[in-house]
Chain A
Amino acid sequence: MATHESTVDLVEGDVVRQFARAAVLAALIGVLGAIQIPYPLSPAPITLQVLFVFLAGLVLGPVWGTASMLLYLAAGAVGAPVFSGWEAGLGPLLGQTGGFLWSYPLAAGLIGLVVHRGTDLRDPASVPLPIVVGALVAGTVLVYAMGTGYAAWLLALEPWEAIAGFALPFIPAELLKMAAAIAIVTSGRIEPVQS
Chain B
Amino acid sequence: MLSYEPDGTLAHRLDPRSKLAIQIGFAATALAHTGLRALAALSVVAAVVLLVARVSVLEALYAYRYALVFLTLAPLLAAVTFGSPWIDLEDGATSARASYRVLLILLVSAAYVRSTPVRASRAAIQRTIPGKPGQLLGIGVALVFRFLPVLQADLRTIRDAMAARLGDERSAVDRASTIGILGLSRAFDRADRLALAMQARCFAWNPTLPALSLSRLDYPAFAVAVVLALSAFL
Binding site for B on A (CB under 8 A): 6, 8-11, 13, 16-17, 19-28, 30-32, 34-35, 43-45, 48, 51-52, 55, 59, 67, 70-72, 74-75, 78-82, 84-92, 94-97, 151, 154-158, 161-162, 164-166, 176-177, 179-181, 183-184, 187, 189-190
Contact = CB atoms under 8 A, between A and B. Distances in A.
Contacts of A78: 16, 112, 116, 118, 121-122, 124-125, 141
A30 B144 contact: yes
B155 A8 contact: no
A177 B173 CA distance: 7
A79 B194 contact: no
A74 B148 contact: no
Interface of B: 1-4, 16, 20, 23-24, 27, 31, 34, 63-67, 69-71, 73-75, 77-78, 80, 91, 94-95, 97-99, 102, 105-110, 112-113, 116, 118, 121-122, 124-125, 136-137, 139-141, 143-148, 150-152, 155, 159, 172-174, 176-177, 179-181, 183-185, 187-188, 190-192, 194-195, 198-199, 202-206
A30 B107 CA distance: 21
Contacts, number: 270
A27 B144 contact: yes
B75 to A, nearest CB: 8
Contacts of A44: 66, 69-70
A80 B117 CA distance: 10
Given A91-B105, A94-B105, A155-B102, A20 B112 contact: no
A90 B110 CA distance: 8
B143 A27 contact: yes
A26 B144 contact: yes
Contact of A17 (B80, B145, B181, B195): B195
A16 B31 contact: no
B123 to A, nearest CB: 11
4 nearest A-B pairs in the assembled complex, by CB-CB distance? A89-B109, A91-B109, A78-B121, A91-B106
Contacts of A71: 137, 140-141, 143-144
Nearest to B66: A85
Nearest to B198: A16
22 contacts: A23-B143, A25-B184, A26-B144, A31-B155, A32-B183, A70-B137, A74-B125, A78-B118, A79-B116, A82-B144, A85-B67, A88-B63, A90-B112, A92-B64, A92-B106, A154-B98, A157-B78, A165-B73, A166-B70, A177-B176, A189-B185, A190-B184
A67 B172 CA distance: 29
A170 B146 CA distance: 32
Interface majority SS (helix, strand, loop, mixed), chain A:
helix
A46 to B, nearest CB: 11
A51 B155 contact: no
Contact of B183 (A16, A28, A90, A155): A28
Contacts of B80: 161
Contacts of A97: 67, 70
B176 A6 contact: no
B202 to A, nearest CB: 6
Given A9-B206, A165-B73, A179-B173, A31 B152 contact: yes
B66 A184 contact: no
A28 B151 contact: yes
Nearest to B115: A79
A139 to B, nearest CB: 15
Given A31-B148, A89-B2, A180-B176, A95 B140 contact: no
B195 A79 contact: no
